[in-house]
């Protein structure tokens, strides 16, 4: 049995277990953001406690093996508590998609190192577990790319080559080994990433993606200090903001909401929440 078949089997077993033994609900967060266009019948917050925090750690330029594995926990441990949280996140986005089309979701944060890539990768993985559901993960951070390392791929072509007209989208998209997930990662880092993301070619590439995929997850750069995230978010159907508990200042979160189009914001993820679970010594 291949890795992807094993993941699908685990997904089926998980659903059967959930049907027979309802999981304990996650406590709602006290602080969230409600989009200005939210319908009165339902408060569309995509708010989740994802990565249990044991202690604060300073971000390092090159992640170690443990950090890389955390970014792909949904692949390595599909039955873990963390993977289950990403399934819940997937379900909440689906509930919002019932109100309006949400095919492209941009993932961002105020600053680097707050967990946006972890959230983007793992959400894309659990999205791809659904049968006949085509999912594409796009690394739009051409300054500090991480998706290729986390997925363990070494592409010949990437997003920069597509935007520069040196390759087609079909040529650059690769399949992450052991999954049903397609990815467009960074092969080379151009001198003008902001201009490439704001180009007409970027718009046409997104349009081309939506013709072939059911859900597209865009891992964007951090919002503060760069125009890239705002540029990409304006091309997406919805935006999820990752906030790191006890790290991201509240005023910086407010600044992100001011920069981005609030009407596109689906909600926030609280990453690094202090959840006491003895079984998570893995982190």
Name every residue whose Cβ is closer than 8 Å to that of residue 209 and which is 6 or more positions away in sequence. 104, 136, 138, 169, 216
Domain boundaries, the chain: 3-33+42-54+66-278
Question: Do β-strands 181-184 and 174-175 pair in parallel, antiparallel, or remain unpaired?
Answer: antiparallel
What is d(CA 72, CA 252) in angstroms, rounded to the nearest whole number?
27
Among the listed ranges 33-37, 65-69, 174-178, which one has the minimum average pLDDT value? 33-37
Among the listed ranges 64-78, 132-146, 150-164, which one has the minimum average pLDDT value? 64-78
Q: Taking each helix axis as running N to C, give the angle between helix 81-97 and helix 116-128, from 0 to 180 degrees, rounded to the nearest 10.
A: 80
Residue ranges in 41-98 assigned as alpha helix (H) = 65-71, 73-76, 81-97
Whether residue 70 is predicted with pLDDT greater than 50 in this model: the reply is no
Question: How far does CA 159 lie from the centroid of its chain?
Answer: 17
User: Which pLDDT tens digit goes with each residue over 165-224?
Assistant: 999 999 999 998 878 899 999 999 999 999 999 999 999 999 999 999 999 999 999 999
Domain 3-33+42-54+66-278, CATH: 3.40.50.300
Strand partners for 270: 49, 243
Name every residue whose Cβ is closer than 8 Å to that of residue 15 and which is 6 or more positions away in sequence. none
Q: Are the CB atoms for 32 and 267 separated by under 8 Å? A: yes
Specify the pTM. Answer: 0.72
């Amino acid at each position: 049995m291949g890795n992807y078949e094993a993941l699908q089997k685990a997904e089926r077993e998980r659903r059967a277990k959930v049907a027979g033994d309802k999981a304990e609900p996650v406590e709602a967060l006290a602080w969230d953001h409600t989009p200005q266009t939210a319908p009165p019948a339902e408060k569309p917050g995509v708010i989740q406690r994802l990565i249990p925090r044991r202690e604060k750690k300073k971000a390092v330029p090159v992640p170690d093996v443990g950090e890389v594995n955390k970014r792909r926990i949904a692949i390595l441990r599909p039955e873990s508590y963390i993977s289950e949280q990403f399934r819940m996140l997937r379900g909440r986005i689906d509930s919002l998609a019932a109100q309006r089309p949400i095919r492209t979701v941009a993932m961002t944060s105020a600053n680097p190192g707050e967990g946006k890539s972890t959230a983007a990768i793992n959400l894309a993985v659990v999205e791809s577990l659904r049968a006949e559901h085509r999912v594409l993960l796009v690394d739009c951070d051409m300054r500090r790319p991480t998706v290729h390392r986390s997925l363990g791929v070494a592409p010949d072509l990437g997003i920069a080559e597509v935007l520069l007209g040196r390759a087609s989208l079909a040529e650059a998209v690769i399949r992450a080994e052991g999954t049903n997930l397609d990815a467009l990662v960074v092969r080379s880092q151009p001198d003008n990433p902001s201009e490439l993301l704001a180009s007409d070619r970027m718009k046409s590439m997104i349009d081309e993606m939506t013709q072939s995929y059911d859900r597209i997850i865009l891992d964007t750069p951090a919002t503060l200090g760069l125009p890239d995230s705002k540029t990409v978010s304006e091309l997406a159907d919805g935006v999820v903001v990752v906030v790191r508990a006890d790290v991201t200042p509240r005023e910086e979160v407010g600044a992100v909401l001011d920069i981005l189009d609030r009407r596109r914001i689906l909600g926030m993820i609280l990453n690094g929440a202090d959840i006491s679970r003895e079984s998570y010594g893995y982190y």
